[in-house]
Structures are given as structure tokens and as C-alpha cells.
Copies of this chain bind each other. A is one copy, B any other.
């Protein structure tokens, strides 16, 4: 098993990401940043507390999964202590408290998952389901709830492609399969899932379903929830399977109660997923629109005209600037000159990626997109391919920035088209106000990476010199300000899920009745409340303690 260092995105053996010199110069001028060390060296965290798991429970779990799959060593537990948010990484670097589970349990199959849950429910042990551990909202934090001990249920051994139905274009995969592995397994049958979120390299299918993930190619392939044709959930009360038909009117669609349930109702063990033939041809191009309003009008028109690429991604002027300066610095001058000569004052970069099975299809798609994009300046393939090349690099860049004293984090929301610009302005204003101090000026950059007929997502990236006195509080307060700004205009989360961080905001979005309904479902499926304590649902003041 991979020993997760988890003081950053990069794995132990990965080459360290470095901050290019030009990027450092820009960052210093733009934000007031000066190079600073990490708050602590990776690994220099507080001592790992001893496991509180009773020996009898450990033995019982060992009889279910095999004693070698109940891990209690410090390294194993530390590697599964929370997710990969900026604050998670700060904690693992010594800033703030780290929640360490009492053991890691690795079941081999859906049956063992169910038996582990039943045992933990009976013994009163909290269970944190764990896939790739890439949550950025506290979704895998080792909270104990009202229990004395908590185990991480690592699904890494549920790594099989169970079956493929090529006629129906369906594949059954186990929940612990990572996204790259799923593409490899499906690719042997000529299929792709088409789900490529930024967490792609590490995240698992079960996690995608549990968090309502959405990938960079959602315009072409849909959100992950659109791919889920069926689901198998292990609960303390038994196994639950859903999804006998492509569509049904047999009451409420309970799949949608499992998707997004974040391990609070049960553990997803298998998914029946819609797959598609692998595209033979892909092409990425860059375009520039002048100003945010023109950019949004363009992506809305592409969406309404039905001529988006599989990837359709619009950066606002700030993110376009960050992209030029932080990533593509060597080309910035040439591109800026080219755009200025065409009268573009506030460049907004638009990346469009098409996929097709034949050259004629690809040509037709490009032609239709370009016809809708009349007002845009075409930057051609190099810019598009540069984006594709770096599409999963963001988390590694964050490592490099963190290493040098930058507070760097992202958050996302979504709104209907008529409210999108108001929402962007409100969030940017809130973040800027909260993070600006004497000597620190934040960059708040934003892009639209997911569009729908009725609206779109907004994904914010924030860069600001880290507050060395209170690095966790610096971001936590900014995040709270952004969450307050979102309320009433958009959703608290478009694809990062609720976890711990958004739980206090859930009632404002789905109503107190909504929270009550979720609690009722949880009581029904997880009567003892052992599953993923403190995630999804805000702390229940009436729960027994």
C-alpha cells in the first residue's frame, strides 16, 4: 500500500514542484509576498496519539478482513488523517490540530464492508469511509462524533472491474478503483468514463459518487451523477442495490439520495456506470473574449446553441492574468501584444476541447463552436494544448506555493445565468475584504468550468501571502466570508461536497425540512450514527451523546 506522506499533493517519490522565478517576481509585486518557509517541515507534526481502538474490536475486525488489514501503526493512521485542503496540509505541517484515526481497516469486497459496518455499529466505533482521500472540505476528517474511537475504512482493495455490458454501455466497477485505473480497465474494452476532475490522479469512483463530483469534461460527459446507472451501498442494516432500468417512475429516485451522501448513510461499494466509446480524436484550442461579461455571454451562447466542446472553460480577467504570469510567463509578452493589437483590453481566456470519433465529426464540431464564437480572438492550439498538458498540475503547484509561504486555496459555487455575475462579484468582494491587510493584497481569480442550460459554476482560486501568526484562521475567516456571500445567490458547493466545512450552511440552502429529511434517512440506515460522524449533516443538538 502506498504510504501517503500527505503534507502536500505530491507523493513521496514525486519530483518536487518548484515556483519559477518569473512567477515569484509577479507574486511579490502583485500581493506583497516575500518568500517564507513552510510552517513546519513535512512530518514534523505533533506525536501521533496511541490508538484508542479496544483490542477486542481490533480482533473482531481482524476476523472479518484479516489481521494484516487492520493497521494501527502511526504512519498508516497519519496517512489517512483528513483530506487535502489547504488547512489539512497546514495541519499536517504542524499548524493546528490533526485528527488521527485509531486504525485503518481494509476490507476486500462489498460483503466485508458490510460486516465491518455491522461490527462498528454494534461496538460503537465511528467509521470514516476513505477512497483517494482528496476531500478539500473535511469529508474524510477522522471525527469521532459521540464515540470513543474511530476507524478509517480504506476502500483501496475494492479495485476491480466487475463486468462490462457493451450493448447497454454499462460497466460495474468497485468503489475503490481510482480514476486512472478505471480509464485503463475500461480502455481495454474500448470505453471511457470521461470523468476528469482535478483530483483525477488520486480520487476513486466511490468518492466521485459520494461527493457528486463533476469533471473538467462535464460539458461532454455530464456530471458524475449523470453517469451513475446503479449503486450498491453497504449499510449497518444490510446491502442496498438500486438501478434496474435506465429511467423509472417507481417513486422518488433514491439513487440521488445515495449520490452525495458522503459516507453518512452507508458505504458505496459498487457502481454501475454509463460508459462511452473512447474518442479517437481530440483537439484543444484557446480563445480570448474581452471582459467577463462578453466571456459569460459567449459560454452561455455555446451552451444554449448546443455547440460547447467536451471541455469548455472560461477564465475571468484575474485568472487569465494568473495563468499568463504564474504558468506561461515565457509567452506572456507575445500573447499580450497580440491581444492588444486586436483591441482586447481585459482578456478572458476560453479553452475549448473537442472530442470525436471521426475527422469529419471533429471538423463539424469545431466549425459550429467557432460560428457561435464570432466575437472571440482565436489563439489556436498551442494555448489549448498547454492547458491540457497542465490540467492536473494545480495541486502540485499548490505544494510549491505553500512551500514558500503562500496561502493558496480554491472554492466553488454555481448559480443560474441571471445571477452569475452578481455572485462572482459578491464572492470576490468578500474574499478580498477579508484577506486584505497592510502588506497583503490577495489575488482572487475565477473561472467557469461547468455550464448548464440554466446556469454555470464559478471556481475561485485565492493567492495571498500567508499570515504566519494564524495561517489556519486566515483562510477559515476568508472561507466563511465567501460562504456568507454565496447564500441566496448560489449553491454552497458545486462539486467539492459538504464535508465538515459546509455543513453549517446546508440548512440555508436546503431548508430545515431538508436537513430533517436527511437526518431521518440517516437514522433509518445508520441507527447508531457510526457513519462518517460530523460530515454532511451539521451537529445534531438532539442526538444522544
Chain A residues near B (Cβ < 8 Å) = 165, 167-170, 211-214, 223, 225, 229, 235, 237-238, 240-242, 244-262, 274, 276, 300, 304, 413-419, 450, 452-457, 488-498, 502, 506, 509-511, 513-514, 516-521, 523-525, 536
Partner of A261 from B170, B252, B259, B415 at Cβ < 8 Å: B252
A417 / chain B contacts, CB cutoff of 8 Å? 167-169
Inter-chain contact A246/B454, CB cutoff 8 Å: yes
A493 / chain B contacts, CB cutoff of 8 Å? 248-250
Inter-chain contact B260/A257, CB cutoff 8 Å: no
Inter-chain contact B456/A169, CB cutoff 8 Å: no
* Copies of the polypeptide in the assembly: 2
Given the contacts A244-B490, A248-B491, A520-B520, A168 and B514 also touching, CB distance less than 8 Å:
no
Partner of A453 from B169, B413, B457, B497 at Cβ < 8 Å: B169
A446 to B: closest C-beta gap in Å: 16
Which residue of chain B has the shortest Cβ distance to A273 in the bound complex? B454
A436 to B: closest C-beta gap in Å: 28
Inter-chain contact B304/A169, CB cutoff 8 Å: yes
Bound state CA distance, A127 and B364, in angstroms?
Answer: 55
Inter-chain contact A256/B248, CB cutoff 8 Å: no
Inter-chain contact B253/A260, CB cutoff 8 Å: yes
A108 to B: closest C-beta gap in Å: 23
Inter-chain contact A518/B252, CB cutoff 8 Å: yes
Which residue of chain B has the shortest Cβ distance to A364 in the bound complex? B364
A261 / chain B contacts, CB cutoff of 8 Å? 251-252
Top 6 A-B pairs, shortest CB-CB distance: A246-B455, A256-B256, A245-B491, A246-B452, A212-B249, A248-B491
Inter-chain contact B518/A416, CB cutoff 8 Å: no
Inter-chain contact A167/B418, CB cutoff 8 Å: yes
Inter-chain contact A491/B252, CB cutoff 8 Å: no
Inter-chain contact B510/A455, CB cutoff 8 Å: no
Inter-chain contact B211/A249, CB cutoff 8 Å: yes
Inter-chain contact B454/A170, CB cutoff 8 Å: yes
Residue of A223, A246, A417, A497 most packed against chain B (CB within 10 A):
A246
Bound state CA distance, A300 and B304, in angstroms?
Answer: 26
Partner of A250 from B416, B455, B506 at Cβ < 8 Å: B506
A415 to B: closest C-beta gap in Å: 6
Bound state CA distance, A26 and B463, in angstroms?
Answer: 78
A252 / chain B contacts, CB cutoff of 8 Å? 256-261, 518, 521
Bound state CA distance, A369 and B21, in angstroms?
Answer: 55
Bound state CA distance, A416 and B524, in angstroms?
Answer: 30
Which residue of chain B has the shortest Cβ distance to A137 in the bound complex? B249
Which residue of chain B has the shortest Cβ distance to A306 in the bound complex? B361
Excluding A244-B488, A247-B455, A252-B521, 4 further A-B contacts by CB distance (< 8 Å) are: A169-B453, A237-B513, A248-B493, A520-B521
Which residue of chain B has the shortest Cβ distance to A276 in the bound complex? B453
List 17 A-B residue pairs with CB atoms under 8 Å apart, sorted by A's residue number: A168-B416, A168-B418, A170-B454, A237-B513, A238-B513, A245-B494, A247-B414, A247-B450, A248-B414, A248-B492, A248-B493, A249-B493, A249-B494, A250-B502, A253-B259, A254-B257, A517-B521
A238 / chain B contacts, CB cutoff of 8 Å? 513
Bound state CA distance, A510 and B247, in angstroms?
Answer: 13
Inter-chain contact A494/B247, CB cutoff 8 Å: yes
Which residue of chain B has the shortest Cβ distance to A416 in the bound complex? B168
Inter-chain contact A250/B492, CB cutoff 8 Å: yes
Residue of A237, A251, A276, A490 most packed against chain B (CB within 10 A):
A251
Bound state CA distance, A253 and B241, in angstroms?
Answer: 18
Inter-chain contact B246/A536, CB cutoff 8 Å: no
Inter-chain contact B524/A520, CB cutoff 8 Å: yes
